Amino acid sequence: MRKVLAAALTGAALVGLASTASAADQTDFPWPPKDITPVHKTKAELQKQAEEFSAHQRQTFPVIISGAQYVTPGLWGGERGGQFEEGMQYMANQVFFRQHGERASVIMQVNAPGFFDRSPQEFCEHTTCTATVSDNQGGVIVISEDSAYHERDAHNFRPNGEVVWIQGSTQDDPAVLGAVASDRAYTFTR
């Protein structure tokens, strides 16, 4: 079952990225969506969600990321791992793993509806976007790169106003980053 899920997510991202002619194709995605419902959680709710996110990372990263082993999620939090504030509107962590014998890591951030206020088009005006594709769930995935820092990001702009992003290196497959970012298990709305 896990392999089917990973193949579907990666396959959808690959098809979308392969068929994209330019990064400007879908950057006119309407943002922010109408009728955003802000989500404010208690520290206990945020901690519970962090534990669920970490368990999901341990379960899915070895399936989605080719060669990923020994997946070790860092602490989720805001400015610092493990620290939550009442009503926080985002959570981030760094995930460490071995990939084909080498150390690797990615950074993830899950933003509550309405917290990320730049549209895909505005976002691409301030960074180098290389692809923008449908996530096949009503949102878009924006792939961007910063060659000076050897970073590649995938931002998933969702119809409910959430934005989930993952940052890896320019060696990371953009389709795989897009598949992780568009995984609906990473959400503020449950």
Q: What is the pLDDT of residue 81?
A: 86
Q: What is the mean pLDDT of residues 126-138?
A: 95
Q: Is 101 exposed, middle or buried (0-12, 13-18, 19+ CB in 10 A)?
A: exposed
Cα(53)–Cα(48) distance, integer angstroms: 9
pLDDT digits (tens, 9 = 90+) for 103-126: 999 999 999 999 999 999 999 999
How many alpha carbons lie under 13 Å from residue 121 in its C-beta half-sphere? 9
Tokens of residue 147, six digits: 């060659």
Tokens of residue 61, six digits: 């990263």
Tokens of residue 123, six digits: 């976002």
Q: In what order do the strands lie in the sheet with 151-157?
A: 68-73, 90-99, 102-111, 163-169, 151-157, 140-146, 128-134
Q: Of 110 and 35, which is predicted with more confidence?
A: 110
Residue 6 clears pLDDT 50, i.e. is over it: no
Q: What is the pLDDT of residue 10?
A: 47
Q: What is the pLDDT of residue 70?
A: 97
Buried b (16+ CB within 10 A) or exposed e, 19-31: ebeebeebbebeb
Least confident range of 12-21, 101-110, 114-123, 131-140: 12-21
Residue 23 clears pLDDT 50, i.e. is over it: no
pLDDT confidence band for 29 (50 / 70 / 90): confident
pLDDT confidence band for 22 (50 / 70 / 90): very low
Residue 2 clears pLDDT 80, i.e. is over it: no
**Residue 163: which residues within 8 A CB-CB, separation 6 or more?**
111, 115, 116, 155, 156, 157
Give the per-residue SS3 of 116-138: CCCCHHHHHHCCEEEEEEECCCC
Q: What is the pLDDT of residue 37?
A: 84
